[in-house]
Amino acid sequence: MTAELEKKAREWLIERGVQVEDIAELVHYLQEKYYPGLTMDRCIYNVERVLSKREVQNAILTGIQLDVLAEQGKLEQPLQDTLERDESLYGIDEVIALSIINLYGSIGFTNYGYIDKQKPGILEKLNDKSSGECHTFLDDIVGAIAAAAASRLAHSQNEEENIDG
Ligand SMILES: [Mg+2]
């Protein structure tokens, strides 16, 4: 069951156009100024650790499921329009994102706010409304995974100890 959940979450990310490397690039973007010489391998490692958490896998599956149903026009109104238009006052996509960030303490909030505003790399792609795809939840989830991985990296670098999880 646990392994199945992780497998499915990873498959769905890829199906929706998000590779582990894309998220690792966001981590690098967030942390390179604090850790000169930061390698992509280290960023990938921290993204992998975040992706191995059950709470994160559940957030991925829930968010992507809603995105896909919205894309197919299968939700009831008014939720269908709200998700299709990615209405800014909806806010539940951000709540799901916060559930991921909360796992690694408060530094994550700042990082999440920052990349959500800048929208570098994969986040710009996910926010391209002309694609006809709906990524109302996924953009926030990807930003949150990157922010969480950046926090994890910062904790592990600063404390030089293995944090659990
Ligand atoms: Mg969103």
DSSP result, 49-112? HHHT-HHHHHHHHHHHHHHHHHHTT-SPTTHHHHHHHT-TTT-HHHHHHHHHHGGG-THHHHHH
Lowest-confidence segment of 54-58, 84-88, 121-125 by average pLDDT: 84-88
**pLDDT for residue 1 is more than 80:** no
Cα distance between residue 151 and residue 134, in whole Å? 28
Residue 164 confidence (pLDDT) = 54
Contact indicator for 83, 90 with CB cutoff of 8 Å: yes
Q: Tell me how far the alpha carbon of residue 133 lies from the centroid of ligand 1, in angstroms.
A: 13
Q: Tell me how far the alpha carbon of residue 68 lies from the centroid of ligand 1, in angstroms.
A: 14
Domains and CATH numbers, the chain: 2-159 (1.10.3760.10)
Residue 159 confidence (pLDDT) = 66
Q: Tell me how far the alpha carbon of residue 44 lies from the centroid of ligand 1, in angstroms.
A: 23
**pLDDT for residue 136 is more than 90:** yes
Q: Tell me how far the alpha carbon of residue 158 lies from the centroid of ligand 1, in angstroms.
A: 31
Cα distance between residue 164 and residue 114, in whole Å? 26
Residue 155 confidence (pLDDT) = 87
Q: Tell me how far the alpha carbon of residue 164 lies from the centroid of ligand 1, in angstroms.
A: 29
Q: How far is CA 67 from CA 39, 79, 103, in A?
A: 32, 11, 23
Cα distance between residue 110 and residue 65, in whole Å? 27
Q: Tell me how far the alpha carbon of residue 35 lies from the centroid of ligand 1, in angstroms.
A: 29
- Give percent of the chain above pLDDT 90: 85
| Tens of pLDDT, residues 65-119 | 999 999 999 999 999 999 999 998 999 999 999 999 999 888 889 999 999 999 9
Confidence band, pLDDT 50/70/90 cuts, at residue 163: low
Q: Tell me how far the alpha carbon of residue 132 lies from the centroid of ligand 1, in angstroms.
A: 15
Cα distance between residue 80 and residue 118, in whole Å? 27
Residue 165 confidence (pLDDT) = 58
| Tens of pLDDT, residues 138-160 | 999 999 999 999 999 998 877 65
Q: Tell me how far the alpha carbon of residue 131 lies from the centroid of ligand 1, in angstroms.
A: 15
The closest alpha carbon to 96, from 125, 47, 135, 122, belongs to 135
